[in-house]
Structure formats: structure tokens, C-alpha cells
Structure 1
Amino acid sequence: MTSGLLRRPERADVVVVGAGIVGLAHACEALARGRSVVVVERDERAVGASVRNFGHGCVTAQDGTALAYARTARDTWVRLARSAGFWLRESGTVVLARAEDEMAVLEEFHALRGEEAVPLDRAGVEARVPAGPDVLGGAWLPMDVRVDPREAVPAIAAWLAARGVRFLWGTAALTVEPGLVRTSRGELAAGHVVVAVGHDVDRHFPEIADEAGLVRCGLQMMRVRGPAAGAVDAAVLSGFSLMKYPGFASCPSLPALRDRLTGEHAELVAAGLNLMLTQRPDGDLTVGDTHAYARTLDPFGHEHLDQGILAQVANLLGGPLTVRERWRGVYASAPGRDFLVATPAPGVQVVSVTSGVGMTTAFGLAPAVLDGLLA
């Protein structure tokens, strides 16, 4: 951690405010373009959305601009894992179907995406992941990747620091204006500024947050002991997931699926459950997650929702679960948009992923942002 006041004058071609995955992606891209970079981060390490997630590069289930960014980002993730030395699995995602309407949606999705969504029967599912007795079949999305976010995010920061990017940890950005960032440790002259503070856009530029309708999305998530059945190499999605990702939205069978799940699991659907899991390198599973939206989130979790998640995961995998950790995830959300990119002043860009796919898309978003900012 940097301590003491900044020596003056200090200047960087690009100052990035925020050391989460979106900020790191912009630092990586600016460095690749030969620019000097300083990253300002209020905490001593990244502790927000970038390390509280599934570590899932969920490429195929995206649509539109997010899908294009996700495809670009996938290639960058693979390259960075080799360069920075963090764990990554190119094992894809298995979507488990426990009802005929879920199978129908997956068949329709295969018709749209071809070999990016490979249909699986029950035996095909069992060859890839453990499956409970209710699982009929599913689909394999081979483009998706997995990382351990608790390892990958600090590894990328260390890799950048070793290549000359300066990190000011434990340093709050107080004000941002053209050519200047005033911090709790002094002033930074900046050729350009990227403000990548996730759900905290309103702390710096409330008018931008207000115009976008930006709120915080709170998630209930858990780490559980891995199943006795063995490795879960792919990420795992469920029928609940089909209602959450835009790639499935045009499937004709989706409304019937939504009606059935709402009738059978009204509370979980109302809580925005995206029933999914990923396996960590140590064998434990990250499972979740519910979604609650507010400008200021209730800090308290709801045990009945955690129990609902655990029961559903146990049914998917066919076995009981032991909880090791619980936490509240949080990310920025804005209605009708996946990304918030705004220019509050010349040379200043506010960037936030507002749909919960920062890990999936950040390394595709950053080149597009810097194309405009540095032009």
C-alpha cells in the first residue's frame, strides 16, 4: 500500500479511479497502447463486486453489444491467465434442465446459436457434471470460461504493477475534473481520467447516476463444500438462469417456463434467483444468487432465501451441502442498459457495467471506451 503524500508534480497519461475488474481492464488497455497509468483505489485491495462473484465468463448467454464485448474479453482472459499466472478453466458451462419446458428453451437456443449451445441428454450431462435425479438433460456452452476472482483480480493488479502501472491503494479520489484528480494523498495531473467505481457512480457524479436510474443490486451468495461426486469442471446454470440472461429472451418457450417457475417457486422468482454454481480450485462451490435492487441496500440477509438456494442446488447436484461462507454481493444496475458510459467533462469518462457481467465483458468494453477517450 502506498503511504504518505504524493510528490508533486506527478502526472500520468491515464488515471483510473477504481481497481476492480473494470478499472483493471482499462489500465491493461491503456498500458497496451503505450500510455503511463496510475490507478487510484480507496481500499487496500479490491473487495467489491470483482471478488464477490462466480468468476464466470458467461459469454454465450449474452446478446447484442454485451455478447460482442464478451467474445473479445474471453480471448483477453485466456492470454492474461498465461501472462499473469492465475488459474483459468476453458471448460464451458452446462445448463441443467429439470423440466420439458427448460429443454425446449435450450433446443430453441441451439437453433439460434448452433454449436455455441450443444444439446445434451441425461448421459451427456452426467459425463460433464454431477446431476440430481430430476435432471432430464441440458446444454453445453463451450465458449464460457472460469477463473477464481479472489486470485485473478489481485494477480492482474500485480502483473500491471510489475509493468510500471502505479497503484495508489488506500487512496480516495475526492474530486475529478479535466486534467486533475484530487485524492486524499494529494493531486494527480492526468491526460485522461477513467472513473470505474462500479455501483458508486452516485458518490462522484450523482447527476449521471440519477439520469441513468442507477441503483445497487444486492446478492445473497455462499461457498459450500464440494460434492462427494467429484469435480464440477464446467460452470452450472439452471432453468432459473434462462430467465435472467438476455441471450435466451427470444426463445418462444421462455414465457411458459417463466409462468411455471413463478407458480412453483414464487418467492424465489420474486427474489430474482439465478440458480447457478461454479467450483473453486480448492473444490468448494460458489452458489447463488438472489437479486435485490435499491439505491441504498438493506444490509441484512434473509436466511429463508439462503435455504431456498441450498435446497435447489442440492436438487441439481443430488446431495446435501455444507456452508462454509456467506456474503452479500453487490453491483451496479440500471434499467434497459448493460453499460453506463458518460462524459461529465472533457477527458473524463465514467464507466460502469450495469448488468452484473463485469467479469464477462470488461476486457471488451475497455478498448471501446479508450478508442473514444484517447482519440
Structure 2
Amino acid sequence: MITTAQYDLVVVGAGIVGLAHAAAAVERGASVAVLDRDDHAIGASVRNFGHICATAQTGQALTFALAARERWLTLGRQAGFTVRECGTVVLARGDDERALLEEFRDERGGDQVTLLGDDAIAALPVAAGTVTGAALLPLDLRVDPREAVPALAAWLADNGVRFHRGTHVGRIESTEDAVVVRTSRGDLRGRRAVHAVGHDVDRLFPDLAEEWSIHRCRLQMLEVDAGDLRLESALLTGTSMLRYGGLSAMPSAARVRERIARESPELLDVVMNLMSTQRPDGALVLGDTHHYARTHPPFDDEYDAELLLREGARLFGRPLRVLRRWRGIYATSPRTEFLVAEPAPGLRVVSVTSGIGMTTAFGLANTVVDELLR
């Protein structure tokens, strides 16, 4: 039940961005309450690859990602979930892609980007004879989001955070001495508040969402049975080079895009990022395609899934059997990668509008909470 207590910080949304803000506030000695409409995380925070892709970011995203990397390692130990320091392997399956990896290594240095030799490439669990080069990004991490997000929430609860689950927030108002969050179970008061509900910014703040052109990106993702195939690292391909800012900024990225447009334009039509990670039970998470709209139709056809399975089979050199499939949704904006807005005194509306919430949320939250609670 909602109580009359006033908290230092009230967080609306218990996905990874909301939990990151709660963790940052707890670390600073603040009292925290978290509200969420669901009983547990069911959105983008658990419908992802579990890929903490720090190295491939650029600009502010890279700053947030490197800070978040350290928080993931610390919180994994504290909250008891596994964080794997296994890096990312980026495959080149053409001369233009190999040149891009060399450019990236030259820019970032050997500590962040290591070009793999022929023996290491030959040992990769992909179709024989298809890879012309590869790079390891050793700083990248992997978690199982279905383990990590609940474990983080439980750890926060054990450290004094009050969770109000199954609670709908209808309005947030600022008064002279508090921010009042009006919910289906009563009012909750905080000195400060963070609204972190991912792609649903427009539910309470339609004008803000319109101002920042917030839309929803719809993903097609699959979980497939690949038999005895084992991936130690996350695996990215040439289409990934067009999705991540650090890689897409390289001079050869234009040549990669031009070749894909010439050879397989359907991949660009669905904005494919062909990549994979492996779950603890051995299943591969395979994805993903991207479609953008404020409101998506409720119907999914098989076209995107068929493309993913076709490209996945080519990548791994074997047929892939679907175990699960799902639609991912995240917020997107052409104007910013990170929405941080102040629609009222003491209130911040925060959304990662670039699909990299798992990678950057802890770094972003540190900045927002420091400014809010100082």
C-alpha cells in the first residue's frame, strides 16, 4: 500500500533505466521508492541480447557506457548475478568490413580493439570460409537480462528501496515542497522524481514526446536452438557496423553500406542488425530488425523472421530451429540518444532513445541523480 512517507527520490518505472536511477540514489544515501504498473519487468529490459556493448559507442554514449561497465561489474558482485567479461567479436565478411575494423583499431588502440589472427578466426563457430577478418572488443560484457534485472530489483529492496508493483501512475505534479506522484493506489511524495518508462513517454507527457519526436522502434527477435554451437562472446556482423556509432563513423562504413545495398537491399529495408548472444541454457538470441512509428500495428508477419533465419543460417552454416520469438520495443528519437527533460521543478523525464539502455543506463543515471540530489 502507498504510505504517507516522503522519499528523497521517487522513480516511476522499474526497467533497467529506472533501477539504475534507484541504485545511483541508494549509493548516495537517499531514500527511494520505485513504482511500476507490472509485477515484474516484461519490456525492453528483458527482451534484449544482454549485451553491454561499450566499445562500439561514441560521444556521450561512450562516456555513459564506460561508466556503466564498472557499475555492472560492481552490482553483479553485490546483487549476485553473473556478469561475463567475454567481450564482443565483430566479424568481417568482406574486404570493406575488414578495412573498417582496421580503421577502428587504429582509432581506439589495441586495448579496446584487437584484430584476430587466422587461427582465432578459424576457431570461430561460424560458416567455414566466410570470414575475412575479425576483431575482439575485450571491454564489452554480457549478462542474462532475465536473471540480472530481477536480481538487481531484489538487491535494491534488500537495501531499503520500497517497491510498489501493480501500480498505475496517472499524473505527476510539483508543489512547493515535493513532487506528488498520483497513482491508482494513492499519492506518493518525493523531494525529487524520475519518470523512466522507456517508450511510453507520451502517456503522461505527450507534448514532451512530440517536442522530441519520440517514436517506438519495433524489433523482431528470435531464440533459436543451434545444437552444440557455442559462443563465448557476443557476435556482431557487417550490418552491426552500420548500427553502432563508433563503427559507423569509420571511413569504410559508406562502402559497407553501398555493398549491402547492392547485394542485399532487403537487409537495409528492415534495418537489420545481424548479431547473436548465447543464453545460459545454450539457446542463441538472434536478431534483430527495426521498424519505426509512434503506434505500430498489432500484427506481425513472418517476413522479418524469415530474413533473420536465412541470415542466421548463412552466418553459422547450419539450419536454426526457433524456440521463442518476440517483439521488442524501445524509444527512439532523431534528435537525441538520451532524453533528459524537466517538465516541472524536481521532476526529470528520462529515456534512452537509442536502443542501448542496458549499455548506458548506469552511466546516465549517475549524471541525472547527481544533478537532482545535489
With the shorter chain as reference, the TM-score category is over 0.9
Give 3-state SS (helix, strand or coil) of 1:16's partner.
strand
Contact 1:94/1:125 (CA < 8 Å) preserved in 2? Answer: no
Match of 2:10 in 1: 15
Residues 230-259 of structure 1 show CA distances to partners (whole Å, capped at 9, x for unaligned) of 420100000000011110132111111101
Give 2:254's aligned amino acid: P
Give 2:295's aligned amino acid: T
The percent of aligned pairs where both chains have the same amino acid is: 54
Give 1:309's aligned amino acid: L
Residues 14-62 of structure 1 show CA distances to partners (whole Å, capped at 9, x for unaligned) of 0000000000000000001111100000011111110000000000110
Contact 1:69/1:365 (CA < 8 Å) preserved in 2? Answer: yes
What aligned pairs does 1:221-370 form with structure 2 within 5 A after superposition?
A: 221-228=221-228, 230-370=229-369
Residues 105-159 of structure 1 show CA distances to partners (whole Å, capped at 9, x for unaligned) of 11111111112111124422244x3121212221100010000111110110001
Aligned pair 1:119/2:115, yes or no? yes
Aligned match for 2:74, one of 50, 58, 79? 79
Aligned pair 1:89/2:88, yes or no? no
Residues 321-362 of structure 1 show CA distances to partners (whole Å, capped at 9, x for unaligned) of 111000000000000311000000000000000000000000
Contact 1:59/1:74 (CA < 8 Å) preserved in 2? Answer: yes
- In structure 2, how many angstroms separate the alpha carbons of the residues matched to 1:149 and 1:180? 31
Give 2:267's aligned amino acid: L
Residues 139-192 of structure 1 show CA distances to partners (whole Å, capped at 9, x for unaligned) of 100010000111110110001001110110000111111221011100111110
Give 1:46's aligned amino acid: A
Give 1:199's aligned amino acid: H
Aligned match for 1:157, one of 150, 153, 157? 153
Give 3-state SS (helix, strand or coil) of 2:18's partner.
helix
The TM-score with structure 2 as length reference comes to 0.96
Contact 2:101/2:135 (CA < 8 Å) preserved in 1? Answer: yes
- In structure 2, how many angstroms separate the alpha carbons of the residues matched to 1:277 and 1:166? 36
Match of 2:38 in 1: 43
- In structure 2, how many angstroms separate the alpha carbons of the residues matched to 1:79 and 1:160? 14
- In structure 2, how many angstroms separate the alpha carbons of the residues matched to 1:206 and 1:249? 32
- In structure 2, how many angstroms separate the alpha carbons of the residues matched to 1:277 and 1:113? 24
Aligned match for 1:138, one of 113, 134, 137? 134
Give 1:195's aligned amino acid: H
Contact 1:227/1:319 (CA < 8 Å) preserved in 2? Answer: no
Task: Give 1:299 shift.
Answer: 2.3
More deviation in 115-124 or 153-162? 115-124
Give 3-state SS (helix, strand or coil) of 2:109's partner.
helix
Contact 1:118/1:139 (CA < 8 Å) preserved in 2? Answer: yes
Contact 1:93/1:236 (CA < 8 Å) preserved in 2? Answer: yes
Task: Give 1:227 shift.
Answer: 4.0
- In structure 1, how many angstroms separate the alpha carbons of the residues matched to 2:139 and 2:315? 22
Give 3-state SS (helix, strand or coil) of 2:209's partner.
helix
The TM-score with structure 1 as length reference comes to 0.96
Match of 2:187 in 1: 187
Aligned pair 1:24/2:32, yes or no? no
- In structure 2, how many angstroms separate the alpha carbons of the residues matched to 1:126 and 1:227? 19
Give 3-state SS (helix, strand or coil) of 1:341's partner.
strand
Contact 1:268/1:305 (CA < 8 Å) preserved in 2? Answer: no
Give 2:73's aligned amino acid: V
RMSD: 1.1
- In structure 2, how many angstroms separate the alpha carbons of the residues matched to 1:291 and 1:125? 29
Residues 262 and 107 from structure 1, CA distance in 2 versus in 1: closer, same or farther, beyond 3 angstroms? Answer: same
- In structure 1, how many angstroms separate the alpha carbons of the residues matched to 2:85 and 2:226? 20
- In structure 1, how many angstroms separate the alpha carbons of the residues matched to 2:365 and 2:102? 34
Residues 84-114 of structure 1 show CA distances to partners (whole Å, capped at 9, x for unaligned) of 1112211000011111111011111111111
More deviation in 44-53 or 262-271? 262-271
- In structure 2, how many angstroms separate the alpha carbons of the residues matched to 1:364 and 1:226? 35
Contact 1:135/1:316 (CA < 8 Å) preserved in 2? Answer: no
Unmatched 5+ stretches in structure 2: none
- In structure 1, how many angstroms separate the alpha carbons of the residues matched to 2:285 and 2:43? 16
Give 3-state SS (helix, strand or coil) of 2:116's partner.
strand
Give 3-state SS (helix, strand or coil) of 2:217's partner.
strand
Residues 250-301 of structure 1 show CA distances to partners (whole Å, capped at 9, x for unaligned) of 2111111101101111112111100000001111111100000000012222
Give 3-state SS (helix, strand or coil) of 1:12's partner.
strand
More deviation in 262-271 or 347-356? 262-271
Consecutive aligned runs of 4 or more in structure 1 exceeding 6 Å deviation: none
Match of 2:209 in 1: 209
Contact 2:2/2:164 (CA < 8 Å) preserved in 1? Answer: no
Unmatched 5+ stretches in structure 1: none
Task: Give 1:74 shift.
Answer: 0.4
